[in-house]
Structure 1
Amino acid sequence: MSTKVTTTGVTLKTLPSVSGNNSHSGENRVRPKNEPTAVKIFVTPTESQQFNHIGVQLLQLIRNGNTKQALEVLGQNADLSFCDKAGWSAMHHAACSGFVDLIIQLIKKGASVDALDYSNETPLHKASRKGHAEAVIVLVTFGAGISAVNSNGETALELAVKAAQTTVVETLCMFGVEVLLQDWSWSMIDENELSKKQKKMIELLLKQHSRNSGYTQKLIQFEIVHLKARENKCLEKLGVEVIGNDDVEDEKVIGNDGMDCDSFFLYCGKMTSEYSDVTNSLKDNHEIVSDIYECRLWCNKRKTLRLSVRLNTVLASNENLVIMSPAEKIGRIDCIDKFTEHKNQSKHHSVAYVTISVKTTSVAFYFGKRIEPEKFSIGSEAVTLKPKGEPEAEISIPKGSFESEGQMSLQIVDTKEVNEEEEEDKSGDLLTTNIVDISMTDGQQPKEEIGIKIPIHNKLSEDDAVVILATSCEAPCSVDDWEVMEAEMDESGKAAIFRIRHFSIYAGSSKEKVKIDLPGVVDALERSINRQRKIEFIFLTKWVNADTSLLVIEGTAARKSDSRIKYWARQGYNEKSLKRSKESRVKNGQRFMFTFMGNLVEVSREESFALIFQNNRDNFRMFSLCLDDPNKPITGEVKISIENEVELTIPLKKSGLFSCCSAQRVKKITNIEHTSLQTISYDVIKPKEPVPPKPEPNPPKPEPKRLSDQTLNKLGLVKYKATSTRQRT
């Protein structure tokens, strides 16, 4: 039994341990409106605990802002269970004042980051209301719950919004707080009447609301950690490892308050490209091969951050990995390791070691690959070239083939993926070699015949032969742009040999294939050159309940669609609801837009959603659906569109004294256009209710055993026969 102890002007109560529990001794207490906050301090020591004056002193020092003395008192084993009249602990006061160093030391001493006061508020509520973003970061790093609600049902985010603390709102959104717009009352105010802070707040909330599904489906993930300068840390769910930096002094840095100054807080997040605008900076000759990464640092004294990042791709010899960002100079790639995880080498990945510049608080980046042609210096002497991109290939240039010295550009284009798209055709691959693109940078053409040898990667039948298709068009687009040339097989039968007098684009194919299906062969060549893939979209739905259904849309190659349908069926999606789109030819990085129409709408009430196609991943999006009108059927439509950037030239108005004589000035802008591909109708199939099993018939009751007259007589019983004239006695 606790006893109330009163001293002169100071009364204290112990704070119950409530970490991870929303119930506490003061949860039913309603504070009067006019009640002052924490004027006196109360304590109730336990029977075995004497009054702890150090704990009282600690609370007073924190309330008065004397952090240096508070840290000294904290080192004297102060009792952290004390709270004031409002139920505020030392952690509540430190968070409310934004004393980051003190919060860290309190946590090290065992103070709870989820302690509740008598209004059910945690330290995170206090820090959020007052706008102390760094205090919020520290609390969340050490496990504070961002979804906790006070006695009024308010989260830390709601308190920050009401107090117009924009930085805290942005920080909580970064930590994945759920924004439910239906819980807010939005006033239809003219945008011109809003302040910059209000506009920023609304922008943050709407953006976070659109990302709710990303957090649910784990398409957006993050980790936040507290590290020392040379500490290595594996962020497993992100596929990232932090490597201890060497750009800080070897000696341990100690601050005036006795704290380590070489530690820092790191937020590392990863999201698919659909939830980020960063990929808008992608260049034409680059292909994205990773998710979007974001790093933020606080309490940081370093200039760089070293990371190792796992990538689900392996580069070809003519491909270079690049790190890209909206910032001009984000960092560098130190080295790349390649790994194979499966015996048939179907699963492989790379690990990129990078050094990131962290001079600013936040950096966002992603990885892409750039295809670069090989360069060869050509003189007057004879030379045989062996490209790295095709080691078994040879290009024999005789003496005096060119009028002057120059540089030859050679690019090898892999045809494996295009052949795999056509592997359902049992007659063999469309292309038997890779594509060779040869040119001189100064436009020269050879005066002598050039011998070329290209390895054959796909076997031919015994009665078949290889032919070469050639084109001099930079962007071939029809059968008429290609010429069929004869070729010979080398002695091993593993390479095609032919001679040319004009540098151009060349590739080998089966003679029989060209004879039967020349348009198909040309189509495969053009898809390889343009790095296009043939995909279709599959639609599957899943009934959840009368109010909610799920829809998954995935873009996949036709040869993979059956296996992907079976995968989604194992996740509970109904195969009978399957819908397919027509095939489309797309480039890596192509952006699609899905627009919802009909009676089924996405629960966020957004109309359009993006999907960016990437070759090295499964390309799908999942949607939670609800009925727009409960009285209408459970059907909906999705319009699929392709998003393209179009460069427009706009004439500018002439101005100035001599404008009549000046040339017309123009301005080039990039505009986004959407081309509709197809509209798919789909429905949600409600599962049949299971028929209750028929009740088993009751087993027949056994006939009672009748005793004989002789037995009855032995028992001293008399058997009477009832008749209509005489009653039983």
Structure 2
Amino acid sequence: MKTAKFVILSQFRQEEFDVTHEAVKIIPQSESSAEINIPEGAFKSPGKLLLNVADTNDWNGEENVLFTNALDLTMQNNDQPSKPVNVKFQLHSLTVSVDDFIILASHKDIPASEEDWEICSTNIKIEGNTISFSAEHFTIFAVGQKKNFKKSAESATMAVLHYRPTEIFACLKNETDSKLTLIVEIAKRSCGKKRRKYWRQNGFRLQTIEYRDGIVQDGERLKISLEGNFQIDTLRSSKEHIIFNKKRNYRTFHIISDQHEPPIGDVILFRSTKKIVEQLVVDTLQNKPKMSFCQCLCNNAVEVATSRKAVIENGIEELVRLPIDGQLFDENQDVSVDIDDPQCTIPVLRKSSLFRLAKQLSEDECYKLGVELHISEKKLSSIESTPAFKTAMFEMWRPTRPNETLVFN
């Protein structure tokens, strides 16, 4: 019988603050530059303010669409202020004028798309690197770009749900003639280049597809599957998964190839597919018993049915597929030299790469390619009758050059 795993949805609240009818200024630890100034009489009865901050900076690429983190303000008793509350928090960037800002406010407890956001009509003020505005009610707020509301709202949704843009990659290191080490890593987009440089400097070789983009949720558990003409010597159940978190976002595998050919295959990452459903939950409540001679005849249990939102895992889907090719490993490669090193001045392919390409072409195709590479037909004719014509053609086009061992490709 197929079973489904249910998880009750709850919105993570990072901090709690006591609120009374008196005026109070709240400075959250998670966003120390932020301030929530609640005026006197905004709340008639005391309660607790629940505050959560979602980091949005990962969703800014070449163009900034979110200029602050997302700030979630909710009273535990769902009360709303009767007076405007001044909210102030720090800007990511000062390169845009106040006229280009909009305050995004979600009308849903858990926004699921850009349709769950609206523009909050309020006066915006900028003081130094902080922005302030008046909030008529408590909800989730973020500062977006006026000319790109849709993109700002989409990015705010992903940030509030704790998703991050990532770069997922695999790299190989040759340990012995028949054994290689495989690294599979999920890096935040802002750290991807730095992480790949780290592995290169430790002797690993990136693959033809250097990385693939993926959107992964904080704490998400992804299943790793390996396919190809090789075996893994230590594949335990705990290593079949990778968890995206702030500590360690990579897994190590040892590839053993019993064949004469180098290992070729794919690394595949799968994620669980989920959907939000309404689940009917029946709670049994006990009434306080009354002292009477007929107490034994009374049923003090009352069943109360309530509806709750739940997440159900209903399958898996492929997130990314990364080709791996042991042929790409070149023992003569100086992997300690960075691709951005100023000494790397010759933007050419390695001969080993060109010779592998030659194997994929017929002699006729290789001849036509030589013409396209501006090798004269006279020179091509002079080597056409040689047994190793394809290799000779690439040798002619790309002769040995000084400092070529510094080139990384």
> If the TM-score is normalised by the length of the shorter chain, which range does it land in?
0.5 to 0.7
- Residue segments in structure 1 that go unaligned for 5+ positions in a row: 1-281, 287-369, 650-662, 692-729
1:445 and 1:503 in contact (8 A); partners too: yes
SS of match in other structure, 2:50 = strand
Q: Report runs of 4+ in structure 1 exceeding 4 Å deviation.
A: 282-286, 605-608, 643-649, 668-673, 688-691
Shift of the alpha carbon at 1:624?
Answer: 1.0
What is the aligned partner in structure 2 of residue 450 from structure 1?
Answer: 84
Superposed CA offset, 1:505-553 (max 9, x none)? 11223xxx331x3233223322331222211211111223331122111
Matched, 1:514 2:146: yes
TM-aligned CA distance change 1:500 to 1:558, over 3 Å: closer
Kindly provide the amino acid, as one letter, of the partner of residue 477 in structure 1: A
Distance in structure 2 (CA, Å) of the matches to 1:570 and 1:377: 54
The within-5 A match list for 1:10-89 is none
TM-aligned CA distance change 1:432 to 1:421, over 3 Å: closer
1:419 to 57, 64, 68: 57
Matched, 1:612 2:252: no
SS of match in other structure, 2:212 = coil
The within-5 A match list for 1:122-161 is none
2:47 to 401, 407, 416: 407
1:597 and 1:637 in contact (8 A); partners too: yes
1:383 and 1:396 in contact (8 A); partners too: yes
Distance in structure 2 (CA, Å) of the matches to 1:609 and 1:565: 22
What is the aligned partner in structure 1 of residue 266 from structure 2?
Answer: 637
1:594 and 1:639 in contact (8 A); partners too: yes
SS of match in other structure, 1:625 = strand
Shift of the alpha carbon at 1:457?
Answer: 2.8
Q: Number of aligned pairs?
A: 295
TM-aligned CA distance change 1:536 to 1:435, over 3 Å: same
1:551 and 1:625 in contact (8 A); partners too: yes
2:72 to 434, 437, 440: 437
TM-aligned CA distance change 1:602 to 1:647, over 3 Å: farther
Distance in structure 1 (CA, Å) of the matches to 2:128 and 2:195: 38
What is the aligned partner in structure 2 of residue 397 from structure 1?
Answer: 39
The within-5 A match list for 1:169-208 is none
SS of match in other structure, 1:642 = strand
SS of match in other structure, 1:430 = coil
What is the aligned partner in structure 1 of residue 330 from structure 2?
Answer: 687
The within-5 A match list for 1:373-392 is 373-379=15-21, 383-389=23-29, 390=31, 392=34
Shift of the alpha carbon at 1:283?
Answer: 10
Superposed CA offset, 1:630-654 (max 9, x none)? 16563112221124789999xxxxx
The within-5 A match list for 1:256-655 is 371-379=13-21, 383-389=23-29, 390=31, 392-399=34-41, 401-402=42-43, 404-415=44-55, 418-420=56-58, 422=60, 424-425=61-62, 427=63, 429-446=64-81, 448-461=82-95, 463-465=97-99, 466-490=101-125, 492-509=127-144, 513-515=145-147, 517-575=148-206, 577-604=207-234, 609-615=240-246, 617-627=247-257, 630=259, 634-643=263-272
Kindly provide the amino acid, as one letter, of the partner of residue 468 in structure 1: I
TM-aligned CA distance change 1:372 to 1:557, over 3 Å: closer
SS of match in other structure, 2:127 = coil
TM-aligned CA distance change 1:529 to 1:486, over 3 Å: same
TM-aligned CA distance change 1:490 to 1:508, over 3 Å: same
Distance in structure 2 (CA, Å) of the matches to 1:614 and 1:460: 30
SS of match in other structure, 2:320 = strand
* RMSD of Structure 2 on Structure 1 (CA): 3.9
1:421 and 1:557 in contact (8 A); partners too: no
TM-aligned CA distance change 1:548 to 1:472, over 3 Å: same
Distance in structure 2 (CA, Å) of the matches to 1:468 and 1:689: 56
- Which one has the bigger strand percentage? 2
Distance in structure 1 (CA, Å) of the matches to 2:10 and 2:106: 22
What is the aligned partner in structure 1 of residue 385 from structure 2?
Answer: none
Relative contact order (C-alpha < 8 Å, sep 6+): which is higher? 2
Distance in structure 1 (CA, Å) of the matches to 2:26 and 2:311: 43
Distance in structure 2 (CA, Å) of the matches to 1:438 and 1:689: 58
Q: TM-score normalised to the size of structure 2?
A: 0.61
Distance in structure 1 (CA, Å) of the matches to 2:124 and 2:276: 47
Distance in structure 2 (CA, Å) of the matches to 1:502 and 1:606: 51
SS of match in other structure, 1:460 = coil
What is the aligned partner in structure 2 of residue 172 from structure 1?
Answer: none
Distance in structure 1 (CA, Å) of the matches to 2:25 and 2:311: 44
Distance in structure 2 (CA, Å) of the matches to 1:499 and 1:388: 18
2:125 and 2:133 in contact (8 A); partners too: no
Distance in structure 1 (CA, Å) of the matches to 2:132 and 2:330: 62
SS of match in other structure, 2:209 = strand
Distance in structure 1 (CA, Å) of the matches to 2:244 and 2:221: 6
Kindly provide the amino acid, as one letter, of the partner of residue 680 in structure 1: L
TM-aligned CA distance change 1:555 to 1:598, over 3 Å: same
TM-aligned CA distance change 1:283 to 1:373, over 3 Å: farther
Distance in structure 2 (CA, Å) of the matches to 1:681 and 1:395: 54
Distance in structure 1 (CA, Å) of the matches to 2:65 and 2:103: 12
TM-aligned CA distance change 1:606 to 1:579, over 3 Å: farther
Distance in structure 2 (CA, Å) of the matches to 1:571 and 1:535: 22
Distance in structure 2 (CA, Å) of the matches to 1:543 and 1:504: 54
SS of match in other structure, 2:270 = strand
Superposed CA offset, 1:429-460 (max 9, x none)? 433333332223333334x3413231333343
TM-aligned CA distance change 1:453 to 1:440, over 3 Å: closer
Q: TM-score normalised to the size of structure 1?
A: 0.36
1:638 and 1:680 in contact (8 A); partners too: yes
TM-aligned CA distance change 1:475 to 1:669, over 3 Å: closer
1:406 and 1:440 in contact (8 A); partners too: no
Shift of the alpha carbon at 1:492?
Answer: 3.4
SS of match in other structure, 2:151 = helix
SS of match in other structure, 1:579 = coil
SS of match in other structure, 1:564 = helix
Distance in structure 2 (CA, Å) of the matches to 1:463 and 1:377: 34
TM-aligned CA distance change 1:438 to 1:560, over 3 Å: closer
Distance in structure 2 (CA, Å) of the matches to 1:494 and 1:646: 40
2:166 and 2:192 in contact (8 A); partners too: no
SS of match in other structure, 1:405 = coil
Task: Find the structure with the greater CA-based Rg.
Answer: 1
Distance in structure 2 (CA, Å) of the matches to 1:373 and 1:684: 50
